[in-house]
Amino acid sequence: MIEYRIEEAIARYREYYEFKPARESAGIEDVRSAIEHTNLKPFATPDDIKKLCLEARENRFYGVCVNPCYVKLAREELEGTGVKVVTVVGFPLGANETRTKVHETVFAVESGADEIDMVINVGMLKAKEWEYVYEDIRSVVESVKGKVVKVIIETCYLDTEEKIAACVISKLAGAHFVKTSTGFGTGGATAEDVHLMKWIVGNEMGVKASGGIRTFEDAVKMIVYGADRIGTSSGVKIVQEGEERYGG
């Protein structure tokens, strides 16, 4: 069934796909409310995370994205603010065993995470081990029903058909978003990848653009081509740039 759905999506892509903007424009508030202010650096300190949370509160960002060891701290810093706490699972390679990803996910939610960004098993995807990839994602989704799960497909390592397969499998497995990149691969988000991903998953799922988004124009472009969320460590700079150019 999975293989059939992938083949069906690829056939539909070949016949009907057209690269064009999903919307005409995006304003400062669209960008602000889409940003997941991110610090996943291996050398990030508790003070860095506190600063990240303060900036997210002050700028009214959607959320912060932090490494698992900082979920509890971020939760404490953001309690009652409405800013979401997002963390990563199987990061950054995606090559952990499924049970390890599940354990990470459950512990992260117990620590206060609102949303989970899990890395797909890229090697298994490229080997066309569809069932393995499906069960890997489904197991994480099922372990924390009610919490948003995003699947990082790491587009820089995939060809077009593999990107389509990753999106189809993520949707079948019950994930809520697909995400372009970890930021640790050989490339980040592109408008072309964002648009393709949104075209495949449709309105039933969201798309998070992440990796290399550093300017207001970058963020606007991603939203115009279909991104629902923006993962970036440059959130403050992006919003300030937008306000300076176009007014707050």
Q: What was the pLDDT predicted at 67?
A: 98
Say if residue 11 is exposed, middle or buried (CB neighbours under 10 Å; 0-12, 13-18, 19+).
exposed
Q: What was the pLDDT predicted at 248?
A: 57
Low-confidence stretches of the chain (pLDDT < 50) are: none
Q: What was the pLDDT predicted at 245?
A: 82
Q: Cβ contacts of residue 161 below 8 Å, gap of 6+?
A: 10
* Residues catalogued as catalytic: 117, 179, 208
Q: Cβ contacts of residue 87 below 8 Å, gap of 6+?
A: 65, 66, 67, 68, 70, 71, 108, 113, 115, 116, 117
**Reduced to 3 states, what is the DSSP secondary structure of residue 51?**
helix
Q: What was the pLDDT predicted at 145?
A: 86
Q: What is the pLDDT of residues 185-223, one digit of tens each?
A: 999 999 999 999 999 999 999 999 999 999 999 999 999
Distance of CA 20 to the CA centre of its chain: 22
Q: What was the pLDDT predicted at 246?
A: 77
Q: What was the pLDDT predicted at 224?
A: 98
Q: What was the pLDDT predicted at 247?
A: 67
